[in-house]
Amino acid sequence: MHKIDPSDPLCSDAPVIVYTDIKSPYAFLAKDLTYALEDKYGVLFDWRPLTLDIPSYLGNAKAGEGGKVLEGDRSPRQWAWVKYAYHDAKRYASLRGLTLLGPRQIWDSSPASIGLLWMRDQDRAAFRKYLDLAFERFFKRELTIDAPMEIEKLIVEAGGEPEGFAEYFEGEGHRIHDALQAALHPAGFYGVPSFVIGGEIYFGREHLPYLDWYLSGQDGPAPDIAYEASLP
Amino acid sequence: MSEGRKLYEVGELELASPLAVFVDVKSANSFLAIKPTQALADELGLHVDWRPYVMKDSAYAVYTEQPRDEPLPEDVAKRHAMVRARYIIADQDRYAKQQGLTLIRPTRTVDSDLFAMGLLWARKQPPPFADRYVSASFERFWRQELDIESIDDMASLIQELNEDAEGFTLYVLNAGPGDLETNQKALDDINVIDTPTYLVADDIFIGRQHLPLIKWHLTRGSVESKHNHH
């Protein structure tokens, strides 16, 4: 995998950088579409974690069975946006046969992010398997993404090398993760999925048509933003 | 689309087309959606039912001009908001350039109630006046050539578009404010929170990125063409 300089989140020797977070429904919806572009053009993108600090900008919340809010400090407007975002993500997930259950609490996904950093140096098929398993299980409420032991089990199941992960998690992995996260706001990143294309940041999978156009040689006018049209 | 041509009802809303779009002239994202939406309507042989939704100040603050060299705040929430605002502005600028649109942002929050009442009035005129009103208002406002807070400027625009400027003025001074309040409440009731919002197949979609899915919804069912409406 491509080397990370945590102090320069826009720099990579890959044609495209992809920032993702396991707890984001929008990142989940972008994953397979992004793989498809890697496969179409025979290139490997530079996948990196952007661990969202959701309470800092969308308030905190915890729900019980049936989605009843047990505690939280979100404003009505923040709730309206969160509800719309999940409604929107769910309708696209449904069209693609994906299960997307809203989490009942806001998770710290940094262990899963450090797992992603660890898997970057593994076999590419194992790396994808790790992302697939992590996203799918998290949105089925079957994965505790803030538990390092759970992440290590996922690494094994994905076909990755678990030996040394515990030390990496406590040491180098944490350092790289935290340094990268600290550099993201100053570089202009605030959400996932984010793509770095030609040195510029593009937030959201609505830019994948542009990425396709960019990789295809940029013939003709650039396309407008659009979500996927691959409907049943 | 004149009154009495009601075709669809969603809650308290009476819509004149299966493709209803809620816009605010002070929203750059609404502006960027005008041409692609009109193109889809033309492709499908539909009229767009343009309706106003007035975004509250706090909701669109990020769309006003932002100082680009100001240091990022220490507070994470404020920092996130500033980074997001800068990104949105840059993103709107690149797609405006792509569409060949001039996009000069206001430096202060502006009141778009007059535009909104004008659109409610335009909906009562024969089509395609609402289309022309929307296009002209957005283009001129974003070139800073139209004072949307001036009733005289808005009336002049309507006069230029060969419609009854006096009728517009009387509407704004009489039924307009009440109609706008009713319209705003109806949209709040169906959870409209931003613009552009599309209301298609009894569902709301925020942003023009949904146009492929909207097209799918509009073409898979029986859609009345504009020719059938006349």
What integer is the mean pLDDT of A131-143? Answer: 97
**Chain A residues whose beta carbon lies within 8 Å of the beta carbon of residue B99:** 224
Instruction: Reply yes or no on whether the pLDDT at A60 is more than 70.
Output: no
Q: How far does B219 lie from chain A, in Å, by closest CA?
A: 12
Neighbours of B173 (CB within 10 A): 11
DSSP assignment letter at B125: S
Q: How far does A154 lie from chain B, in Å, by closest CA?
A: 31
Q: What is the dihedral of CA B135, B137, B141, B145, to 10 degrees?
A: 110
pLDDT value, residue A192: 97
With an 8 Å Cβ cutoff, are B211 and A226 in contact?
A: yes
Helix/strand/coil for B4: coil
Q: How far does A225 lie from chain B, in Å, by closest CA?
A: 5
What is the number of domains present in chain B?
Answer: 1
pLDDT value, residue A229: 74
Q: Is A201 on the interface with B (CB under 8 A)?
A: yes
Q: Is residue B66 part of a domain?
A: no
Contact criterion met (CB below 8 Å) for A36 and A211: no
Positive or negative CA dihedral for B92, B93, B97, B103? positive
Output b/e per residue, B30-55; b: 16+ Cβ within 10 A.
bbbbbbbbbebbeebebbbbbbbbbb
What integer is the mean pLDDT of A7-14? Answer: 95
What integer is the mean pLDDT of A124-151? Answer: 96
Domain ranges within chain A, ordered by starting residue: 16-54+108-215
- In this predicted model, what pLDDT tens digit does every residue of A68-127 receive, in sequence order? 666 666 777 778 888 999 999 999 999 999 999 988 888 899 999 999 999 998 999 999
3-state secondary structure chain A: CCCCCCCCCCCCCCCEEEEECCCCHHHHHHHHHHHHHHHHHCCCCEEEECCCCHHHHHCCEEECHHHCEEEECCCHHHHHHHHHHHHHHHHHHHHCCCCCCCCCECCCCHHHHHHHHHHCCCCHHHHHHHHHHHHHHHCCCCCCCCCHHHHHHHHHHHCCCCCCHHHHHHCHHHHHHHHHHHHHHHHCCCCCCEEEECCEEEECHHHHHHHHHHHCCCCCCCCCCCCCCCCC
Give CA–CA dist A218/A105, Å, rounded: 42
Give the model's confidence band at A65: pLDDT under 50 very low, under 70 low, under 90 confident, else very high: low
CB pairs under 8 A between A and B: 73
With an 8 Å Cβ cutoff, are B87 and A186 in contact?
A: no
Q: How far does A199 lie from chain B, in Å, by closest CA?
A: 14
Q: Which CATH architecture has domain A16-54+108-215?
A: 3-Layer(aba) Sandwich (3.40)
Positive or negative CA dihedral for A65, A69, A70, A73? positive
Give CA–CA dist A133/A130, Å, rounded: 5
pLDDT value, residue B40: 97
Residues belonging to chain B with any Cβ–Cβ distance to chain A shorter than 8 Å: 36, 58-59, 72, 76-77, 79-81, 83-84, 86-87, 91, 95, 98-99, 191, 193, 203-213, 215-216
pTM of the model: 0.91
Output b/e per residue, A176-205; b: 16+ Cβ within 10 A.
bbeebbebbbeebbbbbbbbbbeeebbbbb
In the structure encoding, which two tokens stand for residue A41, read together?
A: 């053009």
pLDDT above 70 as % of chain A: 91
What single letter denotes the amino acid at residue A203? F
Q: Is residue B69 part of a domain?
A: no
**Chain A residues whose beta carbon lies within 8 Å of the beta carbon of residue B193:** 77, 80-81, 84
pLDDT value, residue A150: 96
pLDDT value, residue B140: 98
Positive or negative CA dihedral for B160, B163, B166, B167? negative
What integer is the mean pLDDT of B142-148? Answer: 97
Q: Give the one of A83, A185, A229 whose C-beta lies nearest to B212's C-beta.
A: A229
Instruction: Reply yes or no on whether the pLDDT at A190 is more than 60.
Output: yes
Instruction: Reply yes or no on whether the pLDDT at A159 is more than 90.
Output: yes
Q: Is residue B101 part of a domain?
A: no
φ and ψ at residue A228, rounded to 5 degrees: -60, 140
What integer is the mean pLDDT of A134-156? Answer: 96
With an 8 Å Cβ cutoff, are B83 and A201 in contact?
A: no
| Max CA distance (Å), chain A | 53
- In this predicted model, what pLDDT tens digit does every residue of B86-103 receive, in sequence order? 999 999 999 999 999 999
Q: What is the ipTM of this complex?
A: 0.92
pLDDT value, residue B20: 95
pLDDT value, residue A103: 86
With an 8 Å Cβ cutoff, are B81 and A88 in contact?
A: no
Q: How far does A113 lie from chain B, in Å, by closest CA?
A: 20
Q: Is residue B80 part of a domain?
A: no
Q: Is residue B215 part of a domain?
A: yes
Q: Is A88 on the interface with B (CB under 8 A)?
A: yes
Parent domain of B152: 8-56+108-229
Give the model's confidence band at A143: pLDDT under 50 very low, under 70 low, under 90 confident, else very high: very high
Which residues are CB-neighbours of A135 under 8 A, at least 6 positions away? A22, A27, A28, A31
pLDDT value, residue A81: 86
What single letter denotes the amino acid at residue B111? D
Instruction: Reply yes or no on whether the pLDDT at B162 is more than 80.
Output: yes
Neighbours of B228 (CB within 10 A): 8
For position B26, which CATH number holds?
Answer: 3.40.30.10
Q: Is residue B19 part of a domain?
A: yes
pLDDT value, residue A165: 97
- In this predicted model, what pLDDT tens digit does every residue of B16-47 receive, in sequence order? 789 999 999 999 999 999 999 999 999 999 99
In the structure encoding, which two tokens stand for residue B126, read together?
A: 């024969």
φ and ψ at residue B200, rounded to 5 degrees: -140, 135
With an 8 Å Cβ cutoff, are B212 and A202 in contact?
A: no
pLDDT value, residue B56: 78
Among A140-144, B162-166, B175-179, name the one with the lowest average pLDDT.
Answer: B162-166
What integer is the mean pLDDT of A207-212? Answer: 97
pLDDT value, residue B229: 40
Q: Is residue B88 part of a domain?
A: no
In the structure encoding, which two tokens stand for residue A42, read together?
A: 């025979």
Give the model's confidence band at B230: pLDDT under 50 very low, under 70 low, under 90 confident, else very high: very low
Q: Is residue B44 part of a domain?
A: yes
Instruction: Reply yes or no on whether the pLDDT at B212 is more than 60.
Output: yes
Nearest to A8 by CA among A211, A188, A191, A207: A188
Contact criterion met (CB below 8 Å) for A73 and A60: yes
What integer is the mean pLDDT of B132-143? Answer: 97
pLDDT value, residue B32: 97
pLDDT value, residue B81: 87
